[in-house]
Structure 1
């Protein structure tokens, strides 16, 4: 059974139109904990593909067969560094997690977990947050969203430890060293925070050749694992139609085109300190996209977003604020209907 974080990260990768076949990812397994996990380096990649792009631009133009844009002061929303989070058992929040057996973590178990974590090589800090502190942080993070605040109480949250890791530390090894301790529901690498970008609010990701996404024409076997037919990349004619649609929309203030090379350079700029992630990512892993800045006075974008999603050659359309909200919820292991936290408007 996938964790809420893994589910959201897989959605993020698919929504970003990345060329990663998430169905073929090898699960990471901690000893005696038979719960699959997405490759931990993709935690950052899922955020980065969506948030790393430059977000300030002037109007996009067309030169011959090429779509070009002049960027002004490129700067994007960034994901902060990640840390390892230990979610402690909660009778009310952990549900049917087999490791918890329907019980709350005890004080003795929490002390043992803290002591053990401090002894793991590469762990430089261990910070405990009880449910009251977690709730306070949650209410601060979602102060702008009363619907979410009304839907979540302290009983829906878990006490936790956050582990600061020394640069270069393998989080999988840290996780394996602690996974069997009683009182732990799960351990995950999650973004400490994701800052909403100040520029483009909507990203239109385009299909790549060889895509495994059904929206790009890919077909999978009935088991959903094997790609029987690869998708096709967007054509120049299809790009022209998308550009015409964006240019005619009264809701779009400005937009620009980001090719794979530009996306990769922005990715490297944002994640310069994460050498392993940059080294594992290639230019061709980056999707092309159109980045949209919307008019603030026209705050319902749902119609335009829906129309864009149905355009041929479009892999996905991502409203950045919804991505930020989704990752913030994942930090707390809170699962709510999408309509409660994501409105595809201004």
Structure 2
């Protein structure tokens, strides 16, 4: 059983997913795809909310719907052309995708998919990207992440069609029109790195709140893993002081600031000012307190600090924004997940 806050926000996200201003999602810069071993739904919700400075839906990401989470990002930006990718079935990469039934796409199916895509209302350009081209692009995009490069081969990627659509085109209708076409594994609306919300914080340290369902905060669940038998406790003043002292002593932390619930709520309202449904479902008490960290080196190894922070009393979760961006774009562009152990949002 989820908490009342989870249920309320989940319902709002589902409803908002049908009405969101998709023009706020900017187009891709390069055409590509990815393979999935982990649940992108965690990453999608985190990117849509954490990076914007709005933290409410962080906990929803574990079970939230992938496409709903992606489409409920902050709105209000200039309407841009949309990018969608049609991922084709691949015997090596698609795995057990129901739509592929264990088969790779055939040449006749590729032609049929191309013909169907060319008839999509609002289409301004269509590009085919084969596995080899996707792999080359993947290697360029993630040259900074050697662990990810080492984990992914050309067989992990899919061939795809990339569509550019006029502003205002309904991506849900496009997906509904194309999805029945044989040979398609999935169709997705894909943001560019530039469209991900900007943030001054490279690392976010979220604190426990009273009533938390997270084990890191002391919560306990029944044997079935559903019912909460003991609620977690919020971070105490002493625990906050200990975290503050740890951050001040770290040579890797350039600066940091504490964000209380009121500030987080104001950030949330600004980021989601056009999403009335989500705003109506969200209250200031839903917001977790957090520390936002700016690091001295963008490419530094923060693993030891992250591990220490995650073990601190009063810490609910630590989010590495750099990791989140890589995870979101790898999955959104290539259907590839980060390698095991390179988690972006982990509680202590």
TM-score past 0.5 threshold: yes
The SS at the match of 1:191 is coil
Secondary structure of the residue that 1:318 maps to in structure 2?
Answer: strand
Alignment of 1:293 with 2:294, yes or no, is yes
**Aligned equivalent of 1:4:** 36
1:322: Cα distance to partner?
A: 1.4
Q: For residue 90 of structure 1, what is the aligned residue in structure 2?
A: 90
1:133: which partner in 2? Answer: 133
| Partners of 2:86 and 2:187 within 8 A in 1 | yes
Residue 7 of structure 1: CA displacement?
Answer: 0.7
Q: Which residue of 1 aligns with 2:183?
A: 183
On the 8 A contact 1:23/1:224 being kept in 2, the answer is no
Secondary structure (helix, strand or coil) at the match of 2:193 reads: coil
Per the alignment, residue 203 of structure 2 pairs with 202
Supply the distance in 2 between the matched residues of 1:167 and 1:159 (Cα, whole angstroms).
25
Corresponding residue for 1:58? none
Q: Matched residue of 2:239: which SS? A: helix
Q: Relative to 1, partners in 2 of residues 1:150 and 1:5: Cα closer, same or farther, differing over 3 Å?
A: closer
Instruction: Return the offset for 1:88.
Output: 0.5
Alignment partners' CA distance in 2, 1:96 and 1:6 = 14
State the Cα distance separating 1:157 from its structure 2 match: 0.8
Q: Is contact 1:18-1:286 (8 Å) kept?
A: yes
Residues 314-335 of structure 1: CA deviation (Å, up to 9, x unaligned): 1111222111221222121224
State the alpha-carbon separation in 2 of the partners of residues 298 and 192 from structure 1.
Answer: 21
Map residues 257-296 of structure 1 onto 2, 5 A cutoff. 257-267=258-268, 275=275, 279=279, 282=282, 284=284, 285-296=286-297
Gaps of 5+ in 2: 1-34, 75-79
Quote the residue 1:334 is aligned against: 336
Root mean square deviation, CA, Å: 3.9
SS of alignment partner, residue 39 of structure 2: helix
Give 1:187 deviation, angstroms.
Answer: 2.5
Per-residue CA deviation, residues 59-114 of structure 1 (Å, 9 max, x unaligned), is: xxxxxxxxxxxxxxxxxxxxx99744321011221123232233321232223223
Name the CA distance, whole Å, in 2 between partners of 1:131 and 1:189.
19
Is 1:239 aligned to 2:229, yes or no? Answer: no
Aligned length, in residue pairs: 296
Q: What is the TM-score of this pair, normalised by structure 2?
A: 0.68
C-alpha distance in structure 2 between counterparts of 1:242 and 1:250, whole Å: 14
- Give the corresponding residue for 2:103: 103
Unaligned runs of 5+ in 1: 26-37, 49-79
